[in-house]
Amino acid sequence: MVNIPEYYAGKNVLITGATGFMGKVLLEKLLRSCPGVKAVYVMVRSKAGQSPQARIADMINCKLFERLQEEQPGFAEKIIAVNSDLTLPELDLSKEDQSILAENVNIVFHCAATIRFNEPLKDAVQLNVLATQKMLALAHRMKHLQIFIHISTAYANCDRELIEEIVYPPPVDYRRLIDSLDWMDDELVSALTPKLIGERPNTYTYTKALAEYMVQQEAGDLNVAIIRPSIVGASWKEPFPGWIDNFNGPSGIFIAAGKGILRTMRASNDAVADLVPVDVVINATLAAAWYSGSQTLNRLKRQTFNHVFSHTSSEYHVISTFKRNPLEQAFRRPNVNLTSNHLINQYWIAVSHKAPAFLYDLYLRLIGREPRMMKTITRLHKAMMVLEYFTSHSWVWNNDNVTMLMAQMSPEDKKMFNFDVRQLHWAEYMESYCMGTKKYVLNEELSGLPAARKHLNKLRNIRYTFNTILVVFIWRVFIARSQMARNIWYFVVSLCFKFLSYFRASSTMR
C-alpha cells in the first residue's frame, strides 16, 4: 500500500466547511504534507458582501497558513473556491460547477455543520442532516470518487454509556422527521423538541446521530467513513503549538477562568475531560481517507472511527498557567472550584459570581460608567448550562478501528500524520493551549506580561485587604459584643497555636 502523501498525489479533493475551525486546519495540513495533491475544491457561500474567492483569500492570509506560505509559496493556486450554500436546493451549485465536481473529485471531506448546541431543531436538521443528504446525492454523481468522509462527533450517541465504533439506529426515522418538520411551525417544533431528543442533551448531538444513520442508509455503493472526534481543542504541534481562533467549547471557559470571572463549575468526581487537539483529529481524518480509499477489498465497508482522548481534569494546569502568564485586565486572580453537588455549585455561583459582579456594576454606576459584569456573568452561566451535561457525565468509547488504522501506517506516516495521543504530555499541551488563547484569540502580546503580572499582584493585595477588613468587621460586630463568642474565639485560636507548636516541635525532632 502506498504511503499517505503518495495516495493524495494527483487527487482532486472536495472540502465543505473549509472556513470553519477544523476545515482550515484540514486544508492547511493537506496542502503542506501532501504537496502532490492536484487541486482542492472548497465549497463556500458568499457572506457579508464577500464572494467565496475573497473569503478564501482572506482566510489563507491568517497566521495558520504562514508555515505553508514559507514552504510552498504557490499553494493558493491549488485552492478552487466553489460558490455554494448547503441549505439551498442542489447546494446552490451552478450546472457547470456540478459537472466539474462530478467529473474530477476523488475524495470528499464533509466537515460543514452547525456546532451550536442549542440550535433550533429545524435549523439543526437543515444544516446537519439535510445538507449531508445533499452532499451524498452529489457524491453519487462523482465518477471517480474513492472515499466520502463524514465528520460527526463522539457525542452523537451520548445517551449510551458504552459507545462502539458502529452506527446506532436513531429513535425516529429521519425521513418521517424531515417530512413532519416541513409542515410544523416553529412554536410546535420547539414544544416537541424535548420529547424528540429524549435523553440526549441538545439538538446538536441528536441531529449528528440522525446524520450518521442517514449516511449509512443512503451511501449505497459509495465508500464512506465516519470520524467521531470528541471536544476539539487547540493544536498540539501543527502547524505550531497552541493555535486556536475561536471562543467555542473549552477555549471560552479557559479564558473566563484566566480572567478570574469563572470561579466554580459543576463536574462529576469520575468525569474525565475528553479533549483532543485539532491537528490530531485532522491527521486521523487524512489517514482514515487514505486507508479506506486505497482498500479495494473494503469497497463497500462502512467504517467508523471514535477518536477520543480521555484524561484527568485540566483546571489545575489552566489556573497555574494563567497565574504565571496572566491575561491582561483580569477581573480577579484565577481560581476555579469543581464540585459535583448542584446545591454547592449554586452557592458558589451566588457568592463567587453574582455577588462580585453586582458590586462591580454598582461601582461602575457610581463612577458614571455603563455596568457590564452581570451581563457577562449571565452569558457565562448560559454557556456553562450547555456544557454541564458533558462535564458531569463520563463515557467509555471503543476505538479498535483507530488502533487498527495506526497499525497500518508506515513509520514515516506515523511521524508525519501523528494521532497517537498517548504521546501527548498533558501539562505541556494545556500550557500551550492557554497561551494560544492569549495570543491568537485575545491577540495579547507577550510583551504585556510584566504589566499583567503587576495587575494580578494588585488584585491579590486588594483581596488580602478586603479579607482583613471583613475579619475586623466580624470581630467588632459579633465577637467583641458577646462574652460567649469571645470565649469560643480564644479557644479556637489557642487550639491552632497548640497545633502549630506541636508541628514545629515534631519537625525539630525529625
pLDDT tens string 181-228: 888 898 999 999 999 999 899 999 999 999 999 999 999 999 999 999
**Per-residue pLDDT tens for 463-499?**
888 878 887 777 777 666 677 777 777 787 788 777 7
Q: 3-state class of 397 per DSSP? A: strand
**Per-residue pLDDT tens for 365-413?**
999 999 888 998 998 888 888 888 887 888 888 888 999 999 999 999 9
* pTM of the model as a whole: 0.88
CA proximity to 111, closest of 150, 71, 60? 150
Q: What is the pLDDT of residue 314?
A: 63
Q: How confident is the model at residue 270 (pLDDT cuts 50, 70, 90)?
A: very low
Q: Could you give the C-alpha distances from 50 to 44, 56, 97, 168, 446, in angstroms and in order? A: 11, 10, 19, 40, 33
What is the rounded average pLDDT of the residues 330-352?
A: 86
**Per-residue pLDDT tens for 276-334?**
899 999 999 999 999 988 764 344 456 777 766 555 556 678 888 988 999 998 888 89
Q: Could you give the C-alpha distances from 269 to 201, 265, 272, 339, in angstroms and in order? A: 20, 12, 9, 8
Dihedral over Cα of 216, 218, 221, 227: its sign: negative
Q: What is the pLDDT of residue 244?
A: 93
Q: How confident is the model at residue 100 (pLDDT cuts 50, 70, 90)?
A: very high
Do you find a cis peptide bond into 201, omega within 30 degrees of 0?
A: no
Round to whole Å and give the CA distance between 142 and 147: 11
Q: How many CB atoms lie within 10 A of CB 137?
A: 12
The grid cell for 31 is: 496542502
Pick 117 or 14 by higher pLDDT.
Answer: 14
**Which amino acid, 41?**
Y
Round to whole Å and give the CA distance between 149 and 142: 14
pLDDT at position 268 over 70:
no
Average pLDDT, the chain: 88
Q: How confident is the model at residue 271 (pLDDT cuts 50, 70, 90)?
A: very low
| CA 307 from centre of chain | 14
- Taking phi over 0 as left and psi of -120 to 50 as alpha, with beta for the rest, 46 belongs to beta
